Amino acid sequence: MTRILGISGSLRELSFNAGLLRAAVALAPAGVVLDARSIKGVPLYNADDEERDGVPATVAQLKEALKAADGLLLVTPEYNNGVPGVFKNAIDWMSRPPGGLDIFRGKPVAMIGASSGGFGTILSQAHWLPVLRTLRMRPWFEGRLMVSRAEKLCDADSNLTDEATREKLADFLEGFVEFVRHETPES
């Protein structure tokens, strides 16, 4: 069984990216568990808070889920042509001890995203690359999925309903899972 941790980087209740992640769970290939998570409840990183209180429970849960996963799927919004601060903050928290960078090192990773703009999340996905390099992850570059004009492809609850986009997502997931299986040593 291949385990993929999927994290939606939006806090919105009716987020297109949370809807895209829900669709990914439904379209995951056979033999794959896609564990969908949110960054809700992750506080702003503050070293004083970390020293006083340790790692927050929401962050500890994300870290445990990443440790158990064979790969990571970042479902990223794009705010002001870049990475959303709240999403980067969650990854920053996850990179802190215990585990720190070790839970990221060598882990296969891919990015997808949805936005109401015409270019999808192309710039946000590009902005993630230096972060992933610093974390020493193994990005999958063979596929790309940026959902543009998401409000036209989703229902009122932000569920992805456009069949052509769902097919693209299913193909993307097939490719990423193949990469994960190739990159992950046999247990």
For position 185, what pLDDT does the model report?
66
Q: Residue 74: CB partners within 8 Å, gap ≥ 6?
A: 7, 9, 87, 109, 110, 111, 112, 128
Q: What is the pTM of this model?
A: 0.96
Fold of 2-183: Rossmann fold (3.40.50)
Q: How far apart are CA 50 and CA 97, in angstroms?
A: 10
CA 92, CA 17: separation in Å to the nearest integer?
20
Question: Could you give the dihedral angle defined by the CA atoms of residues 146, 152, 36 and 182, in that order, rounded to the nearest 10 degrees?
Answer: -30
Would you list the domain boundaries of the chain?
2-183
Question: What is the predicted pLDDT for the residue at 186?
Answer: 58
Give the integer Cα–Cα distance in Å for 143 and 173.
9
pLDDT score for 187: 43
Per-residue pLDDT of the chain (187 residues; tens, 9 = 90+): 999 999 999 999 899 999 999 999 999 999 999 999 999 999 999 999 999 999 999 999 999 999 999 999 999 999 999 999 999 999 999 999 998 899 999 999 999 999 999 999 999 999 999 999 999 999 999 989 999 999 999 999 999 999 999 999 999 999 999 999 998 765 4
Question: Which residue bears the tokens 């209740």?
Answer: 13
Q: Which residue do the tokens 């929401």 mark?
A: 58
The DSSP line for 111-175 is EEEE-SSTTTTHHHHHHHHHHHHHTT-EE--S--EEE-SGGGTB-TT--B--HHHHHHHHHHHHH
